[in-house]
Structure 1
Amino acid sequence: MSAHVKKPGWFTVNVFNRTVAWMTRRGVSIWGSRVLAVRGRTSGQWRTTPVNLLTVDGQQYLVAPRGHVQWTRNMRAAGGGELRLGKNVDVFTATEVPDDDKVPLLRAYLKRWKAEVGVFFNGVGPDSPDEDLRRIAPDHPVFHLTVTS
């Protein structure tokens, strides 16, 4: 597993993420935003963070643009969580996608959110060759979600 992590700055943590999470909790999705809730791997407490829900061919995915961050580690330990949009809560199980299967998912994610997260992909974009997407795949965990309720 790659150690790639891009920690958010003060503005992202204290302004941007809080604003997106506040709006999402009130039922306003910004470009597919949801609030991810997952149990902490050591505390067992619910941890929340805003995420972009990617849908490809009717399947749902979460991509970690900043790399192997806390929510990805918690997701591996918990095996699932909740996606919240307003009062709607979708409980899901999560399966991590192997690096070899990430290329079309990373491409779709970058097509949709490059303006927001492109800086975290080291110059790789939605129009980059497959080889470039394969090269960065280990740095960006992707989880396939199966909604259970």
Structure 2
Amino acid sequence: MDNATRYLSPTGIDPIMNKIFNLLPKWGISVMGSRLLAVRGRKSGEWRTTMVNVMTAADGARYLVAPRGHTQWVRNLRAAGDGELRLGRRTELFTATEVADADKVPLLRLYLEKWGWEVGRFFEGVTKDATDAELIAIAPGFPVFRLA
């Protein structure tokens, strides 16, 4: 699979679990920083939502990482350039800037340190202990956005 178009669709029990876990932020429950991401559809203009892990780096900057690759939310966020992070009744507006592949290594490592237990299977054997070269090699398949 080409890293530039890499996408792992939900399989098996994933769609059921996704529906359950997407309810948590709606109810105001955050699991390790999770939020409900809302982005306007690039074709329909309608709000689309999915649960995401919001990562905060050491410098305080916040990021979204797409462990399944170039998903619909990634494509919609690229087109829209902004969205909302929701938790219960709280809504936070943000703008997003996609991070260049060359700058993703420390961010992918941090993401794997925090959520490798949850999303590690999507990284197909690459862990927080991977070499920089291994992380550079997979970077195109894992979109990352800086939030402002």
2:43 aligned with 1:42: yes
Q: Which residue identity lines up with residue 93 of structure 1 in the other structure?
A: T
Q: Which residue identity lines up with residue 20 of structure 1 in the other structure?
A: F
1:7 maps to what in 2?
A: 9
Q: Which residue identity lines up with residue 48 of structure 2 in the other structure?
A: R
1:105 maps to what in 2?
A: 107
61, 66, 69: which one aligns with 1:67? 69
Where in structure 2 are there 5+ consecutive unaligned residues? none
| Deviation of the 1:10 alpha carbon | 4.2
122, 125, 130: which one aligns with 2:132? 130
79, 83, 86: which one aligns with 1:84? 86
Q: What is the TM-score with the length of structure 2 in the denominator?
A: 0.95
1:79-100 Cα shifts (integer Å, max 9, x gaps)? 0100001111100000000000
Taking the aligned partners of 1:23 and 1:3, their CA distance within structure 2 comes to 30
| Deviation of the 1:118 alpha carbon | 0.6
Taking the aligned partners of 2:103 and 2:37, their CA distance within structure 1 comes to 23
Q: Which residue identity lines up with residue 21 of structure 1 in the other structure?
A: N
1:96 maps to what in 2?
A: 98
Taking the aligned partners of 2:95 and 2:101, their CA distance within structure 1 comes to 19
Taking the aligned partners of 1:39 and 1:61, their CA distance within structure 2 comes to 19
| Deviation of the 1:19 alpha carbon | 1.8
Taking the aligned partners of 1:32 and 1:49, their CA distance within structure 2 comes to 14
The 3-state SS of whatever aligns with 2:4 is coil
**Identity over the aligned pairs, expressed in percent?**
55
Taking the aligned partners of 1:8 and 1:33, their CA distance within structure 2 comes to 19
| Deviation of the 1:12 alpha carbon | 1.6
Taking the aligned partners of 1:49 and 1:102, their CA distance within structure 2 comes to 22
Where in structure 1 are there 5+ consecutive unaligned residues? none
Q: Which residue identity lines up with residue 122 of structure 1 in the other structure?
A: E
1:30 maps to what in 2?
A: 31
Taking the aligned partners of 1:108 and 1:37, their CA distance within structure 2 comes to 24
| Deviation of the 1:9 alpha carbon | 1.6
Q: What is the TM-score with the length of structure 1 in the denominator?
A: 0.94
| Deviation of the 1:11 alpha carbon | 1.6
Identify the range of structure 1 (135-144 vs 119-128) with the bigger mean alpha-carbon deviation: 119-128
